[in-house]
Structure 1
Amino acid sequence: MNNELKFRPDGTFKIVQLTDLHIGDEHAKERGDDDRTVQLIEQILTAEQPDLVVLTGDLHGSHGVTDPLLSCRKAIGPVVRSGIPWAAVFGNHDAEEAVTREQLLAVQQEYAGCLTMAGLSGIHGVGNYTLPVKRSDGSDDGCMLYFIDSGSYAPERIGGYEWIHHDQIQWYMEQSRQYTKHNGTPLSALAFFHIPFPEYEFAWTGEQVTGIKGEDVECPKINSGLFSAMVELGDVMGTFVGHDHDNDYCGTWHGIRMCYGRATGYNTYGNLKRGARVISLHEGKRSFDTWIRQDDGEVV
Structure 2
Amino acid sequence: MTRKIVRTLSQVAAAAIFTFTVLFFLDRNLDVLPNAIHEYMPQHHVGTVITDITIVTCNSMNPFSSCKADAEWTRINKDLFLGKSLLTSGYIHFQKKKEEDIAQGDKVVVDVKVGRLDPSANGDGADPHEEWEQRPSGLWVKLSSKKHASDSEKAVTMVDVLFGEDAVEVREGWSLVGTALLIDSSIQAHFTVRRGAHKEPPKPQPRVRDDKKFRILQVSDLHLSTGIGHCRDAVPDEYNGGKCEADPRTLDFVNKVLDEERPDLVVLSGDQVNGDTAPDAQSAIFKYASLLISRKIPYVSIFGNHDDEGTSARAAQMRLIEKLPYSLSQAGNPDLPGVGNYYIEVLAPGSSKHSAITIYLLDSHSYSPDEKHYPGYDWIKPSQIEWFKETSISLHEHHKEYTFHHINTAFIHIPLPETVIDPQYRVGAVREGVTAPSFNSGFRDALVERNVAFVGYGHDHANEYCALSTDNSTGVPHTSRPELWMCYAGGSGFGGYGNYDGFIRGMRVWDFEMNIGRVKTWKRHEYGERTEERINEQTIVDGARLVGAPEPKPPPSADAI
Q: Does the TM-score normalized on the shorter chain lie above 0.5?
A: yes
Alignment of 1:106 onto 2:319: yes
Counterpart code for 2:392: S
Would you say the 8 A contact 1:203–1:250 is kept in 2?
no
Alignment of 1:163 onto 2:379: yes
Would you say the 8 A contact 1:179–1:187 is kept in 2?
no
1:203, 1:259 → 2: CA distance? 13
Alignment of 1:142 onto 2:356: yes
2:429, 2:464 → 1: CA distance? 5
Give the structure 1 partner of residue 125 of structure 2. none
How far has the Cα of 1:81 moved from its partner? Answer: 2.2
Give the structure 1 partner of residue 427 of structure 2. 210
1:194 to 399, 404, 413: 413
Give the structure 2 partner of residue 259 of structure 1. 487
Tell me the SS of whatever aligns to 2:230.
helix
Counterpart code for 2:534: V
2:278 to 28, 48, 65: 65
1:195-232, Cα deviation, whole Å (9 max, x unpaired): 001111246413xx210111111000110001111112
Percent of residue pairs identical: 33
Give the structure 1 partner of residue 215 of structure 2. 14
Alignment of 1:240 onto 2:456: yes
Give the structure 1 partner of residue 395 of structure 2. 179
Distance 1:197 1:5, change over 3 A: same
* Of 171-180 and 61-70, the range deviating more from structure 2: 61-70
Larger Rg: 2
* Of 102-111 and 218-227, the range deviating more from structure 2: 102-111
How far has the Cα of 1:152 moved from its partner? Answer: 0.6
1:132-171, Cα deviation, whole Å (9 max, x unpaired): 1111132411110000110011123332111000010001
CA RMSD of aligned residues (A): 2.0
Tell me the SS of whatever aligns to 2:275.
coil
Alignment of 1:28 onto 2:28: no
1:142, 1:8 → 2: CA distance? 11
In the alignment, structure 1 segments of 5+ residues that lack a partner are none
* Of 64-73 and 252-261, the range deviating more from structure 2: 64-73
More helix by percentage: 1
1:287, 1:200 → 2: CA distance? 23
1:143, 1:49 → 2: CA distance? 18
Would you say the 8 A contact 2:225–2:273 is kept in 1?
yes
Give the structure 1 partner of residue 22 of structure 2. none
1:98-119, Cα deviation, whole Å (9 max, x unpaired): 1101111122123210000011
2:438 to 221, 229, 232: 221
Distance 1:63 1:232, change over 3 A: same
Alignment of 1:282 onto 2:483: no
Counterpart code for 1:144: T
Q: TM-score, normalising length from structure 1?
A: 0.93
Would you say the 8 A contact 1:237–1:287 is kept in 2?
no
Counterpart code for 1:93: H
Distance 1:277 1:244, change over 3 A: same
Counterpart code for 2:360: Y
How far has the Cα of 1:79 moved from its partner? Answer: 2.1
1:34, 1:139 → 2: CA distance? 39
Counterpart code for 1:279: W
Q: TM-score, normalising length from structure 2?
A: 0.51
Would you say the 8 A contact 2:491–2:506 is kept in 1?
yes
2:523, 2:297 → 1: CA distance? 19
Counterpart code for 1:259: C
2:368, 2:268 → 1: CA distance? 23
* Of 78-87 and 178-187, the range deviating more from structure 2: 178-187
